[in-house]
Amino acid sequence: MNAAGRPLDGITVVELGHSVAAPFAGLILADLGARVIKVENPASGDYARGWGPPFWNGTASIFHALNRGKEGVAVDFSSPAEAASLRDFILNEADAVIQNLRPGILDKFGLTAEAMRAAKPALIWCDIGAFGATGPLAKKPGYDPLVQASTGIMSVTGEGDRPPVRVGVSLVDMGAGMWSVIGLLAALVARKDTGAGREVSTSLYETGLAWMTVPLAAFGASGEVRKPQGSGTAEIVPYQAFQTEDGWLMVAAGNDNLFRKLCGALGLGEMAQDPDFATNSARVVNRGRLIPRIAEAVRRHGSDALGLLLDAAGVPNAPLLTVDQVAHHSQTQALDMTVRCEGDGIDLMGIPLTFDGQRPRERRAAPGLGEHNDILPGAAARPR
């Protein structure tokens, strides 16, 4: 898909961001065709530049993964000339700003939603905060694991009676970036009719609460605080990973008919007729008696053989793959999800969208610190 055919061609976004949340939002927008200008501190740059090893060409791989496709400028906000140059660029060129800087940092430089939108009413300003704009934690700094802990995500992750674990990917940070993009896109649609921009706000904490939609509803209905179920889920049984002769297989018998098919495939047909297991609600109640019997039957099979057996029976299943196996899997390759930037040799993940069968992607490598400072007349040139 060429640049002219991408949905956000002609839209310019300034990213006042660091770490994961705002950069992931900027990455999505860049792949969708927007011109994204990443603004960094000239002294240190985005913290993520140093989050390694591993490093690629002297910069952490996470920075490359989250910042390809952008132009990069380094601006010293304490310099009136540089701050004014950035402000002028936003007022003259930008359709939107995304920022996830610590509360109060931008206030002293006049780079706030109120000031900028007063000067340019069509501007869309997207704030990604830590714990939200109001409330007792509004000024508290936040990172993904803090919010996984404080919104209950860690309490439903892992196994009961064992130490807490975080979800292994930064789903709160990345989710907040996605919500920011959703809000920005909605504001762009609304602007077509009104000509006016919007102030869009989200936070890591609100994103964490949104991921907890189902567990919080379950608590509201029952008053019960359930233990984490490992690879399983509290509301559906059997819906978890089982150990095979040579690995692990995830089995998702998500309804009574699939349970009957699973029992047939495993030679446990009598269990499907047992009133204690015949319905999902009964299986949830009697999980402790059911799961060991399924586990015993599964251990008689190798993962590949059992996967084929369950496929033939129509029971959803999947092997547990490691990162290297996922990277080289034929399905990953068939979907053409990875991006190799121009002149680069590292495979980076694209966004999970296609338009008319084509995946939009920006192939420019992540920018060096201050690489594109020439677009800001008042900004000092930086060594690359």
Q: Model confidence over 325-376: pLDDT tens digits?
A: 999 999 999 999 999 998 888 999 999 999 999 999 999 999 999 999 999 9
Distance CA 4, CA 358 (A): 13
Distance CA 179, CA 204 (A): 10
Averaged confidence pLDDT in the chain: 94
Record: fold of 248-319: formyl-coa transferase, domain 3 (3.30.1540)
pLDDT in tens, 256-295: 999 999 999 999 999 999 999 999 999 999 999 999 999 9
Distance CA 143, CA 141 (A): 7
Is it true that 3-211+335-375 and 248-319 share their CATH fold?
A: no
Active-site residue flag, 144: no
Q: CA torsion sign, 64 to 66 to 72 to 73?
A: negative
Tokens of 247: 């690995």
Cα 341 to its chain centre, rounded Å, is 21
Matching residue, tokens 């310019």: 12
- Report the candidate in 188, 76, 46 with the shortest Cα–Cα distance to residue 125: 188
Q: What is the pTM of this model?
A: 0.92
Distance CA 95, CA 197 (A): 9
Catalytic residue among 173, 276, 324, 374: 173
CB-based contacts of 174: which residues, under 8 Å, 6+ apart?
20, 21, 24
**Taking 90 as the threshold, does the pLDDT of residue 107 lie above it?**
no
**Hey, where are the domains in the chain?**
3-211+335-375, 248-319
CATH architecture of the domain covering 3-211+335-375: 3-Layer(aba) Sandwich (3.40)
**DSSP reduced 3-state for 355:** strand
CB-based contacts of 95: which residues, under 8 Å, 6+ apart?
11, 12, 13, 122, 123, 124, 188
Q: Give the pLDDT confidence score for residue 4 in this predicted structure.
A: 47
Q: Give the pLDDT confidence score for residue 291 in this predicted structure.
A: 97
The DSSP symbol for 380 reads P
**Taking 80 as the threshold, does the pLDDT of residue 137 lie above it?**
yes
